Amino acid sequence: MADLGNPKNTIAVLQKYQFHFQKKFGQNFLIDTHVLDKIIDAAEIGKDDFVLEIGPGIGTMTQYLCEHAREVAAVEIDKNLIPILETTLSAYDNVEIINCDILKMDIGALAQRKNDQKPIKVVANLPYYITTPIIMGLFESHVPIDKITVMVQKEVADRMQAGPGSKDYGALSLAVQYYARPKIAAYVPPNCFMPRPSVGSAVICLTRHKKPPVEVKDERLMFSIIRASFNQRRKTLANGLNNAPDIRFSKEQIQESILALGVPANIRGEVLTLEQFAELSNMLADPGREPE
């Protein structure tokens, strides 16, 4: 079977099927075997693993996954790629190709059917515009996931692992770090893809926490507070929360809770840690609660 990590083989497949890249699916196919090896290493795929691959394209990464995993489910939204995948993956009997929008798929049922509810591993090469909905959807669905290894735009990867006070720190950083431990495994330049994107990419591993690093009474409230505090970055935390339509607390309650955190009244949300956001949301959820 031709190694699709070789650009010549990728071009041959695309020409054979007269495939046209579709901008709406953000298609950029990886054509660098060194990067493929790095992804396999970072994802720690072993012979007992069931892997969900999101966006297999023409099957470049899928071939590598099939060589290392027990079984792979490759979920591809573009129906024009299905006949290509059926050819490029025909040598493997441990892969199922599924033509579906991952955002509409019951991943829990797939995990149950394929892996008996044991934690699965996810590998994906995601277009920028859909990175956050897919990753947050995977976490929030509470599907048993051990690790997510994704290729994303470099600036998105930087945001996922950013800490308080940095320009990249924001709601995405906090959401990812609540569910998982992020670590960038490799930076990938544009010339490793076909067609060549205009920005650099990165491979980031998100290792799921066994349990969240903070205890939160109301997850939804905490994330509403986080979003409100970053929606208007230059405003103080108090003003950001006060102006948010879905934060239904009085100005006095908000100010008292911020002061009870032991931080200045005019503090901005961008310098608060995940622990402080959790404590703030717990105090607002339970006004009689003393800060820890």
pLDDT in tens, 67-122: 999 999 999 998 999 999 999 999 999 999 999 999 999 999 999 999 988 999 99
> Which residue's entry shows tokens 């990728």?
10
Of the residues 208, 227, 256, the one at which a domain ends = 208
Tell me, what CATH number does 265's domain have?
1.10.8.100
- Taking CA atoms, 171 is separated from 25, 61, 87, 125, 224, in Å, by 25, 30, 41, 22, 10
- Residues 81 and 184 placed together within one structural domain of the fold: yes
What is the C-alpha to C-alpha distance for residues 64 and 17, in angstroms, rounded to an integer? Answer: 22
Phi then psi dihedrals of residue 156, to 5 deg: -70, -45
Residue 54 in any domain: the answer is yes
Closest CA to 26 of 62, 78, 75: 78
Residue 290 in any domain: the answer is no
Bigger pLDDT: 4 or 12? 12
Of the residues 208, 232, 256, the one at which a domain ends = 208
Give the amino acid at 101.
Answer: D
Mean pLDDT rounded to a whole number for the chain: 90
- What is the pLDDT at residue 124? 93
Structural domain count, the chain: 2
Residue 142 in any domain: the answer is yes
- CA of residue 222 relative to chain centroid, distance: 19
Task: Tell me the two tokens of residue 143.
Answer: 């599907």
Task: Tell me the whole-structure pTM to 2 decimals.
Answer: 0.90
Axis crossing angle, helix 33-43 with helix 60-68, rounded to the nearest 10: 40
Which bin fits 202, alpha (ψ -120 to 50), beta or left (φ > 0)? beta
Of the residues 174, 208, 242, the one at which a domain ends = 208
Residue 165 in any domain: the answer is yes
Q: Which domain holds residue 20?
A: 7-208
